[in-house]
Amino acid sequence: MRVLIMAKEGEQSAAATPPTPEAMAEYQKFNDELVKAGVVLEAGRLYPSSQSKRVRFDGKKRTVIDGPFAETKELVAGYWLWQVRSIDEALEWLKRAPYDGGTFEVRQVLEYEGM
Amino acid sequence: MTTEAHRATEAIWRIESARLIAGLARVVGDIGTAEELAQDALVAALEQWPTEGVPERPGAWLMGTARHRAYDLIRRRKTLELKHEEIGRELERTQERADLDTAIEEDVGDDLLGLIFMACHPVLARDARVALTLRVLGGLTTDEIARAFLVPVSTIAQRIVRAKRTLAEAHVRFEIPSGPERVARLASVLEVIYLIFNEGYSATAGADWVRPALCEDALRLGRITAELISTEPEVHGLVALMEIQASRLGARVGPTGEPILLLDQDRARWDRLLIRRGLTALDRAERLGGALGPYALQAAIAACHARATTAGETDWPRIVALYDAVAQLAPSPVVELNRAVAIGMAFGPAAGLDLVDALAGEPSLKSYHLLPAVRGDLLRRLGRSQEAGAEFLRAASLTENVPERDLLHRRAAECARERMTG
């Protein structure tokens, strides 16, 4: 199965403090381990919400709203797409990530409709 | 809480078991003992973790526990062997312990590779290699393997037991082969991974036409192997082939589980991410230089389909050229049949039919359902509906897969209708 891991934008990333080289190296090591285990399909980091936009639909009307957005805890700062055998496997991998703060959300991707 | 810890433990096992078994196999020398030691560590974890909590580094905990058991085992073996050599014993034991520590702390990559080569050793029958690989490298239980291959659990259990015994009796060493042996051993590894993939991609039997979970297991094994032996073009070729084929998984099955053939598929449903990954892997194979091997060539063929926005845009002459290259490298009647299909598309059905007819007497294709299916297809395009219908019926009688058989019956019925109206 595929799971989408979403890193939530916390106070830290909203403040746009660049990660230290040590933190980057730790992250790289973890990501390498995931790649070697054949888990990572795709990974990406997003610009902060101050540079993002939203499009709201209301009947035929479309409204474009500029960031930043207030509900920082719900905003996505980065994502991974993983291939795992179970949600539990995803959780065990995620627990090994070298982070000391923040929240990550794990969602299963709907696949193979009609099978 | 207890079930949660159990589920966590099982997930950790899936992540750690291959590394664990590999590290132990290098030390104790055989897969059977290594797996038993690892299983013992799992049992200990299942007993302790639900009450004491999952340790911070569960992999290290499992390895530590298994390592203690390995010490005991080696000590017992030594006691038996060295009953009359008491003097050397203490020295030996100290040395063993040092070896064991290094073995476990070194990079696990080589261990995993050693385990892959061992589980896929050519001394084992194909079925045995497949079962053992899924078990020790994929971390699948015997039940899961049995379910995937639609055979009784006892059959898989026996297959694995026998495989371990065969490896022990043949004194297969835990090693990373080099020189000319490496080529043959690597071919066996790739064959096993592709067999697993194919069983998921076009199941040979049963009610489902595809079993995506098995494809995913094979893909993960392929990706792991490609990272371990990143300088071998064919490993990347195989990964490319599997990624691109897997990109069509969602498109090759209709709403009621019926197979949809490549040229009839809705290409908007092809998984662009897997196609991109496949093309990247193919690029990696090509960049390593040298002539493309059979897997990379087949990946290049799959890439021709992936790049065509519609079936009509397919570059069939290039596909024919690539099949020519496959046929030279790894000639087989199945490759010839595929080449005939491509020639039929590139240069017309009559040219394809000549080649298929030349294969008619081929003993290995005698009960291969795709031979009459391809022949039926070419005959139909030539307007020979009656003969085509008979071929589709013959093909249907040769496959054990229910949805595929239904599709062939439908095609036969279409031919009958064409005959009435045409």
User: Minimal Cα–Cα distance from A38 to chain B, Å?
Assistant: 5
B381 touches chain A (CB under 8 A): no
pLDDT in tens, B74-117: 888 777 766 555 545 554 555 555 555 555 545 567 899 999 99
Q: Is residue B360 part of a domain?
A: yes
CA distance B355 to B156: 40
Tally the domains of chain B.
2
Q: What is the pLDDT of residues A13-71, one digit of tens each?
A: 544 567 788 888 998 999 999 999 999 999 998 888 888 899 999 999 999 999 888 77
Which B positions 50-79 lie with beta carbon below 8 A of chain A? 58
Provide the 10 A C-beta neighbour count for residue B228.
Answer: 17
Examine the domain organization and report whether B283 and B213 are in the same domain. Answer: yes
Same domain as B375, residue B282:
no
| Least confident among A101-115, B166-180, B266-280 | A101-115
Query: Both tokens of residue B276?
Result: 């991109």
The reported pLDDT for the residue numbered B87 is: 45
Minimal Cβ distance to A112: which of B7, B223, B249: B249
Instruction: CATH number for A2-108: choose from 3.90.1150.10, 3.30.70.1060, 3.30.200.210, 3.40.50.980.
Output: 3.30.70.1060
ipTM field: 0.87
Decide if B273 touches A, using CB distance below 8 A. yes
Which residue is closest to A82 within chain B, CA to CA? B220
Smallest CA–CA distance, residue B252 to chain A, in Å, is 10
Name the residue among A38, A89, A113 with its Cβ closest to that of B223: A38
- Interchain proximity A92–B8, CB inside 8 Å: yes
pTM as predicted: 0.88
Domain of residue B185 covers: 179-291
Domain presence at residue B409:
yes
Q: How far apart are the first and last CA of chain A?
A: 14
Residue B150: predicted pLDDT: 84
Chain A CB contacts of B15 below 8 Å = 37, 89, 92-93
Give the CA distances from residue B162 to residues B73, B123, B170, B175, B193, in Å, rounded to whole numbers and listed in that order: 22, 12, 12, 21, 20
Asked if residue B357 and residue B283 are part of one domain, the reply reads no
Disruptive mutation site among B9, B14, B16, B243 for chain A (greatest number of A CBs within 10 Å): B14
Domain boundary among B291, B322, B351: B291
B286 shares a domain with B183: yes
Average pLDDT over residues B119-140: 94
For residue B208, being part of any structural domain is answered with yes
pLDDT at B421 over 80: no
Q: Is position B320 within any domain? A: no
Kindly report the nearest CA distance between residue A104 and chain B, in angstroms: 18
**pLDDT of B266 above 80:** yes
Residues B186 and B283 in one domain: yes
pLDDT at position B400: 85
Interface of A with B in 86-105 (CB under 8 A): 86, 88-89, 91-93
> So where are chain A's domains?
2-108
